[in-house]
């Protein structure tokens, strides 16, 4: 009796998730548009042409014109600069301050940990948007003040994540081994805590970047952010709100840009989480 030939080994193919790729690609386009805006449109985003007001989308003006005859596409391209500057600066500041507070609390423990975390709890008791509005209302409108407000509203998120992960790291065996060899204080943080904390903070940074974009757009929509003369997506949506029946395209395109940008960052963050989070890697 002849034995059947062995079945060929079936190779497991790793499933490719397209959403993070699409998200990263679109976000790269937003950054490209912000950097090369002067080369992507022939129009000045602030040039007023009364005779061209309220023109619908066409070949000459792909996104149409607003109530001052300004090209909407040009203003969308230049407006990407504001939201990117605000988002990146806010997340960088919140990561630096909040991460430092969280690592210090988790490393020190005891009374210092309790005091720092109670302060973070007080900050978390306010909704992020409300807290940002209160800060901007106190400091005054402006791009720098908006960045400061967003930083302050996001510090607790980074602090709590960094503290929880730092406590886990400090309980690992390699920390005990390092201490037995004379390692202590800042050396332990730089040598062991930060490298093991970095993947989680990268994922958190991507998630909070989407939050920063949302807060920036909300503050500018309310008139608490950049100067009205500066092209910005939030301001354009605010202008489009009162023109919804006369020229719906004025608010539609910047609103779509905000939505797609935030979605793209979220999709990119999901992909980074799947790659960098050990728990997620094991579940795939």
Tell me whether residue 164 is in a domain. yes
Residue 8 located in a structural domain: no
CATH number, position 167 = 1.10.3720.10
Residue 179 pLDDT: 72
Each residue's pLDDT, cut to its tens digit, for the chain (284 residues) gives 444 455 444 444 455 678 889 999 999 999 999 999 999 999 999 999 888 898 999 999 999 999 899 999 999 999 999 999 999 999 999 999 999 999 999 888 888 889 999 999 998 888 888 888 888 888 888 889 999 999 999 999 999 999 999 998 888 887 777 777 766 778 787 888 888 888 889 889 998 999 999 999 999 998 888 888 889 999 999 989 988 888 899 999 999 999 999 999 999 988 888 777 655 554 44
| Model confidence pLDDT, tens digit, residues 9-37 | 444 445 567 888 999 999 999 999 999 99
pTM attached to this predicted model: 0.86
**Inside any domain, residue 4:** no
Count each helix (H run) and each strand (E run) in the chain, helices first.
12, 0
* Residue 1: inside a domain: no
In a domain, 148, yes or no: yes
Q: Is residue 237 a part of any domain in this protein? A: yes
Exposed, middle or buried by CB within 10 Å (0-12, 13-18, 19+), for 142?
middle
Per the structure, the complete domain to which residue 205 belongs is given by 19-35+63-279
191's tokens: 């040598």
Residue 58 within a domain = no
- Contact of 89 with 145, CB cutoff 8 Å: no
**Predicted pLDDT at 73:** 95
| Complete DSSP assignment for 210-267 | HHHHHHHHHHHHTT-SS-TTS--HHHHHHHHHHTTTT-THHHHHHHHHHHHHHHHHHH
* pLDDT at residue number 139: 84
Q: Rounded distance, CA 88 to CA 210, Å? A: 10
Return the number of other C-beta atoms located less than 10 Å from residue 73's C-beta. Answer: 18
Please count the structural domains in the chain.
1
**CA–CA gap between residue 40 and residue 181 (Å, rounded):** 59
Residue 159 lies in a domain: yes
Distance, in Å, from the CA atom of 179 to the CA atom of 105, rounded to the nearest integer, reads: 19
CA–CA separation, 9 and 75 (whole Å): 57
The confidence score (pLDDT) of residue 94 equals 95
């Amino acid at each position: 009796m002849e034995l059947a030939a062995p079945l060929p080994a079936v190779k497991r193919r790793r499933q490719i998730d397209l959403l993070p790729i699409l998200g990263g690609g679109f976000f790269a386009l937003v950054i490209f548009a912000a950097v090369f805006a002067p080369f992507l449109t022939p129009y000045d985003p602030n040039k007023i042409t009364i005779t061209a007001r309220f023109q619908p989308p066409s070949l000459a003006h792909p996104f149409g014109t607003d109530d001052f005859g300004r090209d909407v596409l040009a203003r969308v391209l230049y407006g990407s600069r504001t939201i990117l500057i605000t988002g990146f600066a806010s997340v960088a500041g919140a990561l630096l301050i909040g991460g430092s507070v969280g690592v210090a609390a988790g490393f020190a423990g005891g009374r210092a940990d309790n005091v720092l975390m109670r302060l973070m709890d007080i900050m978390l008791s306010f909704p992020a948007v409300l807290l940002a509005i209160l800060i901007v209302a106190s400091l005054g409108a402006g791009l720098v003040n908006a960045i400061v407000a967003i930083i302050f509203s996001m510090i607790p998120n980074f602090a709590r994540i960094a503290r929880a992960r730092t406590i886990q790291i400090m309980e690992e065996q390699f920390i005990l081994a390092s201490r037995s060899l004379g390692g202590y204080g800042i050396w332990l943080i730089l040598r062991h805590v930060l490298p093991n904390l970095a993947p989680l903070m990268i994922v958190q940074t991507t998630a909070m970047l989407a939050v920063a974009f949302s807060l920036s757009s909300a503050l500018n929509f309310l008139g608490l952010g950049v100067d009205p003369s500066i092209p910005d997506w939030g301001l354009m949506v605010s202008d489009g709100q009162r023109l919804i029946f006369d020229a719906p395209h004025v608010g539609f395109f910047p609103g779509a840009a905000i939505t797609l940008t935030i979605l793209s960052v979220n999709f990119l963050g999901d992909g980074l989480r799947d790659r960098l989070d050990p728990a997620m890697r094991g579940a795939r």
